[in-house]
Amino acid sequence: MTNYVLVDFENVQPDLSQLAGTPFKVKVFFGAKQQEGRVPFKLLDAMLALGGNVEPVKVMRSGSNAVDMHIAYFIGRLVEKEPHAVIHIISGDTDFDPLAEYLQANGVHCKRTKTIAELTRHAPAAARKRAAAPAPASKAAAPPKPSPQPRHKSAPPARKHSDKLAPIIKQLHSLSGKPSTRKKLAQTIANYLRQHGGALPESAVEQLIDELIRLKYVTQNGTRVSYHLS
């Protein structure tokens, strides 16, 4: 899951150096008028510190909301390509909020914040851990080999699944007439998520079905499916 930071530099000029050494992919959108002046050394230094994780995006025409439209277009392309990406918009423009709320209602992680500090406070925990994790040592000592254990029959390991799968498994278990094909299963899951405020795009529903199959809750034979939910 990639974290993207889209900076409306025409509206706010945050300290990008705070993102150096983090996994965030940063896109800085410059308005046409901003490209006419000299680049402040502080900005240049911060962008150099981000290395390959930063990309400047030039908006060639000036006009009302020109930068905003470019950011909205980029978000649409990004969601199409990476539906599970996490998107952070850095801007003081509240016009982005309805777009972010719409995307959230449709299962897309998108939020607007005004500062980098606010972003790092609200970023997903996994991203913060990756950002704070020290670089791995170049050579690590090999772990000691475990001593041989006597062979014995043990119970099969518990199937671990995500929090998103748990209510779906429970719902499928409660159905007396379970969907018999993958297509009907996808419709059943999509309808359940929609009714419980967690609607997802079709591709995300298909990934949930793949996960059910991987964990052996569901078996697929051709287009037909069977269930092993107990």
Task: Using the 3D structure, point to which of 91, 107, 132 is the last residue of a domain.
Answer: 132
In a shared domain, residues 108 and 30: yes
- Decide if 153 is inside a domain: no
Question: Residue 35: its pLDDT value, please?
Answer: 67
- Decide if 137 is inside a domain: no
Cα–Cα distance for residue pair 117/20, rounded to 1 Å: 13
Residue 135 CB neighbours (<10 A): 6
Mind listing the pLDDT tens digit for each residue in 72-107?
A: 999 999 999 998 999 999 999 999 999 999 999 999
In a shared domain, residues 98 and 25: yes
Mind listing the pLDDT tens digit for each residue in 115-141?
A: 888 887 755 554 554 444 454 554 555
- Decide if 65 is inside a domain: yes
Residue 116 CB neighbours (<10 A): 22
In a shared domain, residues 198 and 126: no
Give residue 216's Cα distance to chain centre: 26
- Decide if 25 is inside a domain: yes
- Decide if 199 is inside a domain: yes
In a shared domain, residues 12 and 101: yes
In a shared domain, residues 196 and 128: no
Mind listing the pLDDT tens digit for each residue in 11-39?
A: 888 888 888 888 899 998 988 776 666 66
Question: By residue range, what is the domain housing residue 205?
Answer: 165-227
In a shared domain, residues 15 and 107: yes
Question: Residue 135: its pLDDT value, please?
Answer: 46
Question: What residues have CB less than 8 Å from 111, skipping those under 6 apart?
Answer: 87, 88, 89, 100, 104, 122
Over residues 133-158, mean pLDDT: 57
Q: How many domains does the chain have?
A: 2
What DSSP state is assigned to residue 56?
E
Single-letter residue type at 92: G
- Decide if 58 is inside a domain: yes
- Decide if 157 is inside a domain: no
In a shared domain, residues 99 and 7: yes
- Decide if 139 is inside a domain: no
5 pLDDT band (50/70/90 cuts)? Answer: very high
Place of tokens 């905003």: 68
Greatest mean pLDDT among 69-78, 149-158, 205-214: 69-78
In a shared domain, residues 85 and 180: no
Cα–Cα distance for residue pair 131/135, rounded to 1 Å: 10
Which stretches does DSSP call E strand in the chain? 3-8, 25-30, 54-58, 86-90, 109-113, 218-221, 224-227
Over residues 33-51, mean pLDDT: 73
Cα–Cα distance for residue pair 225/230, rounded to 1 Å: 16
In a shared domain, residues 186 and 105: no
Question: Residue 90: its pLDDT value, please?
Answer: 93
In a shared domain, residues 15 and 73: yes
CATH number of 203's domain: 1.10.10
pLDDT at 213 over 60: yes
In a shared domain, residues 59 and 114: yes
Task: Using the 3D structure, point to which of 115, 132, 149 is the last residue of a domain.
Answer: 132
Over residues 134-154, mean pLDDT: 58
**pTM of this prediction?**
0.50
In a shared domain, residues 190 and 128: no
51 sits in the region (left: phi over 0; alpha: psi -120 to 50; else beta) called left
